[in-house]
A and B are shown apart, each in its own frame.
Chain A
Amino acid sequence: MSLKSPWRSDFPALSALTAEGQTYLDSAATAQKPQAVLDALLGYYASGAANVHRAQHLPGERATRAFEGTRTQAAHWLNAASPAEILFTRGTTEAINLLAYGLEQLFQPGDELVISALEHHANLLPWQQLALRRQLKLVVLPLDDRGLIDLVRARELIGPRTRLLAVSQLSNVLGRWQPLTELLALARAQGALTVVDGAQGAVHGRHDVRAMGCDFYTFSSHKLYGPDGVGVLYGRGEALARLRHWQFGGEMVHTASYQAADFHGAPLGFEAGTPAIASVIGLGAALDYLGNLDQAAVAGHEAALHLKLLAGLAARDGVRLLGEPELALASFQVESVHNADLAHLLTEQGIAVRAGHHCAMPLMQTLGLSGAIRVSLGLYNDGTDLERFFGALDKALELLR
């Protein structure tokens, strides 16, 4: 079974990397970009850059239309009720920081914020710091052996003091869909706000935020085959109305005098300063590109690759998988071999994988590990990428053991 990706040739970086002897298996960190996105970036700059929402002139008008076009696309992509529910940020991290500051005034000392043990730093640190600022209690939902948030414990821990639940849809280390339906229902029953971190989840399948029933959902363009420097924050209309402004400047202001100002509501009121215009336009191109793919074919290809990855790891002695990943990636350790040594020798052989704590240090502590190697897949990966990876892994282990 050769597992050829029919979309590989849409991504010029893949052939460039291959020519350099590099096998890219780090898409969970950032994904390569299709030609359509590169064309959109070049097209915007080459035809005349202009700022958005500020000018009457033609280039300004064109940029603003393209920029707002992406907002409409993102709203469709997520099945939001309106483009006004889509805010552009610098990425998932900024989106969650926006929420942690924008919602701060809603919380009183002793209130509880609930996250889970698998959160990467972006969905941990903003809440942790908010808890410290306002004397809130940060409650951490534990995991079960498979790498799922433990629902039995969640039922005990999500209670009347819970004001907000913020959880990842898909872990960047454990590769499992989390039981959002149940968790969000538990939080809603307590009247708590709900935040879903879709940084990884958004990449694998389309998600309907209204069906999900969350208040906020966020993802980063760069993992979704789009440019970096831009993220999307969806907020349900009523939830957005509760946000207080947090960054000031530029066109987010409605009227300003030296001593006072008032501000636009969402979305513009939360997009202070000049946004990443080209990147937002590029994200529109990425959504277009992805929207035109056969979703079932992409999911099928990724699932077949993932099976091959898991089978290959299972066939090797001493490989310990973290959790039971069901898609997209696998994190592992090899008995009596140091991650750093293995990473070093994989790098020497042109295998681009992640090694370390994957921005989830507390999770690694919970698992009792200093780190792990993570192989993550994109829709452009082939069976041959995995064969090269396993060849390099065998060679590295032969040297190290």
Chain B
Amino acid sequence: MSLPEKAREALETFTAAGGWEQRARLLMQWGERLEALTDAERSDANRVHGCESQVWLVGEMRDGHWHFRAASDARLIRGLLAVLLARVDGLPAAELATLDLADWFNQLGLARQLSPSRSNGLNAVLKKMAELAT
């Protein structure tokens, strides 16, 4: 399974990060790259519940491939969304369904962000993504 180009870039930069500080800086940089959502897209229907910050997720299928966009009012969550989208955007539906995203965050050194605590929003984002994709 070949990695999308952006995902490869994420893997290279994050695995080279030398500690929590550098990872945090990288996350904030990646977060700034998220494509903006329109006001209309920041709707209740697109809200992901279970996040301490506000998160919106929009997904659409084009030619058998999933395309996601996301936004948050918190900077580090934006970064986490960015590295998540880097891994999943443009995948065929079948591949998305079987993808081990926990493993992806593990590889990036961000495994802790997937803690089962309900205050952590990333799991809710993954769940919503899976719901959209099925």
The chain A residues found within 8 Å of chain B, CB to CB, are 338-341, 343-345, 347-349, 355-356, 370-371, 395, 399-400
Contact = CB atoms under 8 A, between A and B. Distances in A.
A356 B119 contact: yes
Contacts of A341: 74-77
The number of chain B residues touching the other chain, given as a range, is: 10 to 19
Given A341-B75, A345-B76, A399 B119 contact: no
B25 interface: yes
Contacts of A347: 112
B52 A399 contact: no
Contacts, number: 42
A58 to B, nearest CB: 42
Contacts of B112: 347
Contacts of A399: 21, 24-25, 28
A338 B25 contact: no
Contact of B52 (A343, A348, A395): A343
B19 to A, nearest CB: 9
Interface of B: 20-21, 23-25, 28, 51-54, 73-77, 112, 119, 121
Give chain A's interface secondary structure class.
Answer: helix
A339 to B, nearest CB: 7
B24 A348 contact: yes
Given A338-B53, A343-B52, A347-B112, 20 more contacts: A338-B75, A339-B52, A339-B53, A340-B51, A340-B74, A340-B121, A341-B74, A341-B75, A341-B77, A344-B76, A345-B20, A345-B76, A355-B52, A370-B54, A371-B52, A395-B21, A399-B21, A399-B24, A399-B25, A399-B28
A400 B52 contact: no
Nearest to B21: A399
B32 to A, nearest CB: 13
Contact of B20 (A338, A349, A355, A356): A349
Contacts of B77: 340-341
Nearest to B55: A340
Contact of B74 (A338, A348, A349, A395): A338
